[in-house]
Amino acid sequence: MTIKVFGHKSPDTDSTGSPLIWAWYLSEHRGQPAEAKLLGEPNTEAAFVLKRWGYDKPEIISGVAAGDEVVIVDTNNPAELPDAINDADILQIIDHHKLTGGLETKGPIDITIKPLACTATIMHNLMGDNDAKMPEGIKGLMLSCILSDTLEFRSPTTTEQDKALAEQLAADLGLSIPDYAAEMFAAKSDVSAFSDAELIRMDSKEYEVSGTKFRVSVLETTAPNIPLDRKASLMETMKTVAAEDGVDEVLLFVVDILKEEATLLVPNDTVKTVAEKSFGATVSGDTVVLPGVMSRKKQIIPALTL
């Protein structure tokens, strides 16, 4: 049986590249046939990375069947996985997010969760000496995942290990990190062709905090004016998305990569209260700028929880 390797819904670069990296490793060095899959359409940056390194877009699957052998990467949250995930035979989890709970397995499994910025960095650690056998394309994917998840080392999630590995990979590939990261971020910022609902769900995760269900969406861009020029229609669509997805509220953060700040759209009093109580902000309109806030994992979700 071929193992299915996939990350979370609304796949970003890490959840698109890491399944390809680990499927290569399992197939080539563990003798376990594996294929990368996606749980949704990759975002514009991830699509750019696939093309840049010569990979076809992995098959998008809508679910898993009982008995499917799967490896889960870049998440351990059942809300970000197929509804029937607990019916599958989960063989392994590789992740860098907090332990959520709710997954059930058929037996003991291999779980690696590390406080690093990127799943691909953890995979490099797990490869051991086999990292020397990585072809150029796998190295390119790994570098892309790290630069994306660290926002070219700007994110507070960045560790020295992530940065050192990225620099090593860039040297091996003969790439300038600033130049390549600029290409990636330009691709990520090109969102003009997407509908409001697509933008809201593009890089979005569901979290429940004290009984309230949030869809926390992040748009990382070097051109924040593009989505912010659409704030009125985005805020109207946030109501529809919340109703369709069964959440109480959508929180949309537009992250300015260059200024290292986030703008939170404030469509109602509930979000205003979240901004003031969770982030200590003073809200006087329908947006609020949160200096230094760039990471959903390290700065946004912990603040909501508190």
DSSP per-residue codes, 157-212: T--HHHHHHHHHHHHHHT--HHHHHHHHHHHHH--TTS-HHHHHHHTEEEEEETTE
Query: Does residue 81 register a pLDDT over 80?
Result: yes
Look at residue 220 and give its three-state secondary structure.
Answer: strand
Tell me the percentage of the chain whose pLDDT exceeds 90.
94
For 244, counting Cβ atoms within 10 Å of its Cβ (0-12 exposed, 13-18 middle, 19+ buried), the class is exposed
Q: What is the pLDDT of residue 91?
A: 98
Beta strands, E only, the chain: 3-6, 34-38, 59-60, 69-73, 89-95, 110-113, 204-209, 212-221, 249-256, 261-265, 287-291
Query: Does residue 305 register a pLDDT over 90?
Result: no
Task: Map tokens 């790290």 to a residue.
Answer: 146
Query: Does residue 133 register a pLDDT over 80?
Result: yes
Q: If pLDDT is split at 50, 70 and 90, which confidence band does 306 have?
A: low
φ, ψ of residue 271 in degrees (nearest 5): -70, -35
Q: What is the pLDDT of residue 193?
A: 86
What integer is the mean pLDDT of 83-105?
A: 96
Q: Tell me the whole-structure pTM to 2 decimals.
A: 0.91
Q: What is the pLDDT of residue 7?
A: 98
Q: What angle do CA 32, 33, 35 make, to 5 degrees?
A: 125
**Per-residue pLDDT reduced to its tens digit, 181-190:** 999 999 999 8
**Per-residue pLDDT reduced to its tens digit, 138-182:** 999 999 999 999 999 999 999 999 999 999 999 999 999 999 999
Task: Map tokens 């910025």 to a residue.
Answer: 117
**Per-residue pLDDT reduced to its tens digit, 5-51:** 999 999 999 999 999 999 999 999 999 999 999 999 999 999 999 99
108 Rama class: left (phi>0) / alpha (psi -120 to 50) / beta = beta
Q: Structure tokens of 284?
A: 């006087």
**Per-residue pLDDT reduced to its tens digit, 197-248:** 999 999 999 988 888 999 999 999 999 999 999 999 999 999 999 999 999 9
**290 Cβ contact partners less than 8 Å away, ≥ 6 residues apart:** 253, 261, 262, 263, 264, 275, 279, 281
Mean pLDDT taken over the chain: 96
* 128-155 as b/e: b if 16+ CB within 10 A: eeebeebeebbbbbbbbbbbbbbbbbbb
Find the Cα–Cα–Cα–Cα dihedral 297, 298, 302, 304, rounded to 10°: -60
